[in-house]
Amino acid sequence: GENVEQHPSTLSVQEGDSAVIKCTYSDSASNYFPWYKQELGKRPQLIIDIRSNVGEKKDQRIAVTLNKTAKHFSLHITETQPEDSAVYFCAAKSGGSYIPTFGRGTSLIVHP
């Protein structure tokens, strides 16, 4: 089955810096890669996703890049703000499965 590795497990940055979280996946059939943000005490919510026919997607300060050959994808957050502090989960899903496979999460801490 699919295996998703996520790094780092903890990331601490100063406000205004950029943050990058990386994930690798094992199943070449995976074609959908979402990122979820979970603030403390709240539910995970989708913040951005990318499909395998696209190499990069941006939404204001966040972007996701995908390298299908290397089987890795990354979340980039620019000009970080304290409200970006949260746990971020990556996931991968193939078209033949209903079930996404999640990474273990990255705790991002943005210091004011």
Partner 1 sequence: DVKVTQSSRYLVKRTGEKVFLECVQDMDHENMFWYRQDPGLGLRLIYFSYDVKMKEKGDIPEGYSVSREKKERFSLILESASTNQTSMYLCASMGGYEQYFGPGTRLTVT
Q: x/- contact string, 7-46, with partner 1 (CB under 8 A)?
A: --x----------------------x-x-x-----xxxxx
Residue whose CB is less far from partner 1, 16 or 29: 29
Beta pairing class for 86-94 and 101-102: antiparallel
d(CA 58, CA 89): 17
User: What one-character-per-residue DSSP string does 64-94 give?
Assistant: EEEETTTTEEEEEE-S--GGG-EEEEEEEEE
Residue whose CB is less far from partner 1, 3 or 67: 3
Strand partners, 33: 50
For residue 49, state whether it binds partner 1 (rule: CB under 8 A).
yes
Binding site for partner 1 (CB under 8 A): 6, 9, 32, 34, 36, 42-46, 49, 89, 93, 98-100, 102-105
